[in-house]
Amino acid sequence: MSEANCEHGERARYATGVRSRFASFGASALASLRVRALASFGAKAVPLAALTLLSGAAAAAPLWQQGARLPDQVRSVQILREGEPMWTAPDRRAPRRGTARLGAHLPVYSTRSGPGCAGKWINVGPMAWLCELDVALSAAPPLTEEPPRVTASGLPFDYFFAGADGAFGYGRLSQADLGAPSAQYEPGMSVALVRTQTNALGELFGLTTKGFWFPMRELNPARPLGFGAEELNGELDVLWVYQRTASLHDKPEGRRTGTLSQFESARYTEVVVRSKRRWFKTPHGWVSEREVRAPTPSEPPEEARPDERWIDVELEQQVITAYQGRVPVFSALASTGRGRGKSEMATPVGVHRVWVKLRTGDMDNLENEYAGRYYAIEEVPWVLYFKRGYGLHGTFWHRRFGNKQSHGCVNLTPRAAERLYHWSSPKLPAGWTAALPTAYEPGTLVRVR
């Protein structure tokens, strides 16, 4: 199928509830992106009006700040729709802060009156406010902050592609294969499943995150690559084979002694140049740079604060490296935009900051009337947008890492993207599905060079 990313006729979207299936973060200067709803999202931070919370954990006792207090038994608020928007201040005109997951119980810190809410505004996190009329007050305890739970595959769901004949989705399992379908997916379009179940006839169906039941016989499983980021000990000493194989030699330009397999990584202890080409000494033998990718050292961008975390994206080497100050923390093989110069399919060079962070987001080109072929990728994982619709994210639909392949985004293997997602800022408190940076927690710097 066609590789899906975030630019050149594609839209990055995420579910926001029953009234609107999708809404887009931000606005793009690219007409083909056609980003619409939630235009109030932006990177501008507002002064903290009431209480600065630097942790997502709930206080032992709420600090009611203004007006009538909520009932004593209220310990949390329950989110009633997927992607419930949160604001940076108790005012519906304030910039957006993020979104919350359907069913999540968020902590209650304080209440306040403000424009846009006939009830009370409720402070549920760091610079995060919800209107009490949009949520349910609950006696249940709020979600607690836990260390990130890393998945085995790097994928938050089980992903499948519609087969050669496409796939039909049904709103109810009882009507699956019997009534008219509610959705039709073209070959290669992907879905994310939350569970499977058999119908009355014994046929196995999968329930997607969008609420449709698809017959499993019409779906093919995604098979993502299993390797992730390579942890570093302060030294850039890692390389990856990006071609089918890489030849090993007894010395630079010497006799061939063996091979390394595609995507195999190795550490090197020495680098020499022969015939204007770098050669790396690994425990297995010497290997030429023609067959491997290896990150190169770099100083922090001028915009970085002392010891700040930042991400280095190398277009020539097709790798990313996460730094803290001058110290490299981990590196990963990548796949950047295949366009050149100022093409919409080129990954934008320069220094940027993550302006929104999503656990998952939908990407498609369904509104591009000039597209030669339509595609839709649901719940693309671990998304860090750093310039309009350009971002870093997990990728499970191609195996071209180490080569320029995308429509502009920086593709990473799911496990590498998950590692970067948990390491970068802004952080997502428990129960959040998206977060925008604030003056107190700016987005991670991303330099593309």
Taking the chain (449 residues) in consecutive chunks of 10 residues, what is each chunk's mean pLDDT?
45 32 31 28 32 37 55 95 97 97 96 96 97 97 82 92 97 92 95 96 96 98 96 97 98 98 98 96 98 97 97 98 98 97 94 98 82 84 97 97 96 98 96 96 98
What is the phi/psi pair of residue 216, to 5°?
Answer: -65, -25
Rounded alpha-carbon distances, angstroms, from residue 325 to 85, 264, 312, 341, 446: 34, 28, 11, 29, 13
Rounded alpha-carbon distances, angstroms, from residue 375 to 3, 269, 397: 9, 44, 12
Q: Does residue 134 sit in helix, strand or coil?
A: helix
The string of DSSP codes covering 262-330 is: TT-EEE-SEEEEETTEEEEEETTEEEETTSEE-----PPPTTPPTT-EEEEEETTTTEEEEEETTEEEE
* pLDDT score of 373: 73
CB atoms within 10 A of CB 264: 15
Q: Does residue 255 sit in helix, strand or coil?
A: coil
Return residue ranges of the chain for CATH 2.40.440.10.
Answer: 11-41+297-448
Residue environment code for 64-99, b if the CB has 16+ CB neighbours within 10 A, otherwise e: bbeeeebeeebbbbbbebbbbbbbbbbbeebbbbbb
The residue count of the chain comes to 449
E strand or H helix that includes residue 362: strand 356-364
Condensed to tens digits (0 to 9), the pLDDT of residues 367-413 reads 777 767 777 999 999 999 999 999 999 999 999 999 999 999 999 99
- Residue tagged 């770099």 (tokens): 298
Strand partners for 246 = 260
Condensed to tens digits (0 to 9), the pLDDT of residues 119-145 reads 999 999 999 999 999 999 999 999 988
Inter-residue contact 386 to 392 (CB < 8 Å): yes
**N- to C-terminal Cα separation, the chain:** 29
CATH class name, domain 11-41+297-448: mainly beta
E strand or H helix that includes residue 85: strand 84-87
| Backbone torsion region of residue 382, taken as left when φ is above 0, otherwise alpha when ψ lies between -120 and 50, otherwise beta | left
Six-digit token string for 171: 């709103």
Q: Does domain 237-293 have CATH number 2.30.30.40?
A: yes
Euclidean distance between CA atoms 7 and 91, whole angstroms: 32
* pLDDT score of 1: 43
The string of DSSP codes covering 32-65 is: GG---S-TT--S------S-----SSPPSS----
Return residue ranges of the chain for CATH 2.30.30.40.
Answer: 237-293
Inter-residue contact 399 to 334 (CB < 8 Å): no
Torsion on CA atoms 330, 356, 10, 409, rounded to nearest 10: -20
* pLDDT score of 335: 98
* pLDDT score of 6: 58
Half-sphere exposure of 75 (CA within 13 A, CB side): 11
* pLDDT score of 147: 72
By CB atoms closer than 10 A (0-12, 13-18, 19+), residue 139 is exposed
* pLDDT score of 113: 95
| Nearest residue to 346 (alpha-carbon basis) of 334, 357, 355, 337 | 337
Strand partners for 335 = 411
